[in-house]
Amino acid sequence: MAKYPFTPEAAERVQELDLRTTELCNPEYGGIIARAEERIREAVEDALVSDQTTGPVGGSRLIKDDVELLSFPVAVMMVIYMNDKLLKRRYALAEAKRAYHLLRQDSEEKITTIAKRFNLSMKQVKTYIKSLETTSSGFYLDFTNYLKGTGIFHERKWKLVNRTMQHGEVQVTKDEIARLVAEEIRAHMEEKLDVKTDLKLPQDVVDRIEKLKQLHLALRKMHEEEMPKETVVDAFPPCVQKLYKTASDKGHLSHIERFTLTSFLLNAGMPVENVVECFRPASDFSEKMTRYQVEHIAGGRGGGQKYVPPKCDTLRTHGICTGGDEICERTWRPLQYYQKKIRLMKSHPSRQ
């Protein structure tokens, strides 16, 4: 329950302990409040500062069992109280990420148990490989559950056509099951956090929340200022790379594709004049119309609103997503991918 505090058993245990918000100012609960605050801070810093985007949040460490168990609902309450949609998503992702690294280290039996809590029913299989004189362990997951769970992933290895399937069941590894469970946890956490509350909290807790909000805002500002002054084409996400190349090669782009490319380039720092030139090779190019549309998206016309590219979910709906890579799995907006890729290129030049 301390390792996986979002399970039904953990929730029941918390209810039994009957911790009330009015008691949070009691010095006896100081360690719990401090750990709850730390969970949120780790989530913010991991999302906005760390280049090790695949590493465990806070080292996936566990302090005292009772502190871990009770700090989770307190942290959830604090995040809800902040009423920041972006912070809610980042906290949900951080808890899922922590669980992923704990699951990878846990027994296959434990993974199976946790998976069932999130309706991922599967069979554990041990196969004896005679030629190697060893036993290989794995799992088989019903293909409908597999398709449901992997819909957000874009790496080729997750495509059903690239999997081993027998009698309607897909073979998956321990690490892959941990990844699937983590994604279910993230979705569960986002739903849990998507509520409004009028809780009255002790002033000490409110003060801590205010400091966390200021930290989040400061790191977001620093993160936004990291955007390079010149556009880095090599850091474009795969979908934008394809749109950019199509435009350069005189290919046809639909309205939503043109809007996506234009809004991305403008937000990535490309001047209006350069964006207009991107569309010049098109056979139906009209400089007057193109310039008007680009300036409108840039906020120079109309109501003065500068538009941002659609979310990844929207791009997938319109068939613009090209399949993506490992960075895509940890982002939900093209510009977020761009920023992560730039940080990765700076910290690991060899991976460019």
Sequence-separated contacts (24+) of 252-256 with Cβ below 8 Å = 252/282, 253/282, 254/318, 256/310, 256/318, 256/320
pLDDT of the residue at 48 = 58
pLDDT of the residue at 126 = 61
Q: Are 25 and 174 in a shared domain?
A: no
Neighbours of 344 (CB within 10 A): 17
Residue 131 makes CB contacts below 8 A (sequence gap 6+) with none
Which parts of the chain have pLDDT scores under 70? Answer: 22, 47-63, 126-137, 154, 222-228, 302-303, 348-352
Residues 78, 55: Cα–Cα separation, whole Å: 24
Note whether residue 22 is domain-resident.
yes
pLDDT of the residue at 19 = 75
What would the DSSP string read from start to end of 206-264?
HHHHHHHHHHHHHHHHHHHHTS-SS--GGGS-HHHHHHHHHHHTT----HHHHHHHHHH
At 87, list the tokens.
């912070």
At 334, list the tokens.
């093209």
Note whether residue 116 is domain-resident.
yes
Give the full edge-to-edge strand order of the sheet including 165-166: 122-129, 134-142, 169-172, 165-166
Note whether residue 2 is domain-resident.
no
User: What pLDDT, in 10s, does the model give residues 13-61?
Assistant: 888 877 777 677 777 778 888 899 999 999 888 765 543 334 444 445 5
Q: Which domain holds residue 298?
A: 233-351
pLDDT of the residue at 103 = 92
pLDDT of the residue at 260 = 95
pLDDT of the residue at 46 = 78
Q: Are 246 and 335 in a shared domain?
A: yes
* Backbone φ and ψ of 109, nearest 5°: -65, -40
Note whether residue 260 is domain-resident.
yes
How many domains is the chain built from? 3
Note whether residue 1 is domain-resident.
no
Q: Are 99 and 198 in a shared domain?
A: yes
Note whether residue 155 is domain-resident.
yes
Q: Are 165 and 69 in a shared domain?
A: no
Note whether residue 60 is domain-resident.
yes
Residues 178, 165: Cα–Cα separation, whole Å: 19
The last residue of a domain, from among 156, 185, 214: 185
Which H or E element spans position 109?
helix 108-117
Contact (Cβ atoms closer than 8 angstroms) between residue 101 and residue 113? no
Q: Are 86 and 198 in a shared domain?
A: yes
Q: Are 97 and 211 in a shared domain?
A: yes
Contact (Cβ atoms closer than 8 angstroms) between residue 91 and residue 40? yes
Q: Are 271 and 156 in a shared domain?
A: no
Q: Are 100 and 114 in a shared domain?
A: no
Q: Are 12 and 156 in a shared domain?
A: no
Q: Are 89 and 145 in a shared domain?
A: no
Residues 62, 67: Cα–Cα separation, whole Å: 9
At 321, list the tokens.
């997503």
Q: Are 52 and 198 in a shared domain?
A: yes
Neighbours of 232 (CB within 10 A): 15
Residues 339, 210: Cα–Cα separation, whole Å: 27
Q: Tell me the CATH number at 315.
A: 1.10.579
Contact (Cβ atoms closer than 8 angstroms) between residue 57 and residue 97? yes
Q: Are 210 and 268 in a shared domain?
A: no
Q: What is the pTM of this model?
A: 0.67
Note whether residue 3 is domain-resident.
no
pLDDT of the residue at 58 = 47
